[in-house]
A and B are shown apart, each in its own frame.
Chain A
Amino acid sequence: MTGISEFLHMGGYAFYVWGSYGLAAVILYLNYLLPVRHEQQLMRKLSILQASKTG
């Protein structure tokens, strides 16, 4: 590998290689983000419900 531009060029296959890795990154990130966010929202909602019941 000679230099950053060579690296990004990937021997002409840049679109396919970075497309694949980019897609993987997006999918893996979303599978992390969505449940984590859902959990936070759930906890918040339940604590509000809980507080209103006992408060």
Chain B
Amino acid sequence: MIMAKTSGLYLTILKRDLMLGLRNQSDLVNPLLFFIIVVTLFPLTIGPEQATLRQLAPGIVWVAAVLASSLSLDGIFRSDYEDGSLEQMLLSPQPKLLLIMAKISAHWLLSGAPLILFVLFSGVLLYLPTGSMLTLLVTLLLGTPVLSLIGAIAAALTVGLRSSGLLQALLILPLFMPLLIFAVSAVSNVNRGLSVTGEFYFLGAMLVLALTLAPFAVLASLKIRMA
């Protein structure tokens, strides 16, 4: 009974956020567009030579993905903050961690998941060997949820502030550095036939840590900002 109620609440909020997100198409498309533009900057600046791009491709796509993801974070709480429903959510007797997880899941589905497709696509543009595509996919599946989870903390801390988007990015980019190090290392390594289990374990550990701790930090931040 409780499980049904719990999953019912989660799904309700998830569906609501997905519908609201899909309504505003430019908010969905802009980060993806930004991503592709950033990726394009690299061949333009460092030259179209295959060998160079292939070597730098893992780093380029992941950096661009992190930047694009940071741009989309503003939307997690902004519209709810502006119309007062965020305050309502915090006052409601519903389990708030569940509400927060639903909102973060929606964010990942709307921005993280499409980004995965774009990243794989841009890997092709940068001559990433097809052998490493699978590894890249795994790093993305493990890593993009972490971007949403930790990003949500920064979004919660800065909700409603002017130029919050930039401040959010400044706050979380240092926190994303370990993720970047291991994700890119995995994709680079698989090219050279080296083992990537260490990297996968680390990415998995980061995901678990983020899943367990981030929602609490988000809730604490929201309560502080909405006091």
Chains A and B share a contact (CB less than 8 Å): no
Binding site for A on B (CB under 8 A): none
Binding site for B on A (CB under 8 A): none
